[in-house]
Amino acid sequence: MGTLVAAVITALAVLAAMVVLLATGSRATALGVLLDLLLAAGLVRLTGNQTWTEIVVLVAIVAVRLLVRTTLIEDFRRWSPDAGRPAERAGRAAEA
C-alpha cells in the first residue's frame, strides 16, 4: 500500500513541478517543489516495515537532496538572464 501511495506522490510531484515551472518560469522553484515531494514519497514508502538500512539510506538521500538542491538553485540564480554578469552582481551586492 505504501509503495502505491509513494508512486502516486511521485507522479504528482512531476506534474506539480511542471505546473510550477509553467506558472512561475522559475526552474529553482520548480526544482524545490519536485525535490520536496520526492522526499515526501520516500517517507511515505518507509511507513511499512523500516529497517535500519532503509533509514540510513533515507538519511543519505536527504543529505544528497539538500546538496543538489543548494548547488542547482545557486547555479540557476547565477546564470539567470536577469542576474547580469558576475561583476555587476558583485557591485549590486556591495551597494545593498
pTM of the model: 0.61
pLDDT per residue over 30-89, tens digit each?
888 888 888 888 888 877 777 888 788 778 878 887 887 788 777 767 776 655 544 444
Which band of pLDDT confidence, cut at 50, 70 and 90, is reported for residue 28? confident
What residue numbers bound the domain in which 15 lies?
Answer: 2-95
| Number of domains into which the chain is organized | 1
Q: Tell me the three cell numbers of residue 18.
A: 511542471
Average pLDDT over every residue of 5-11: 88
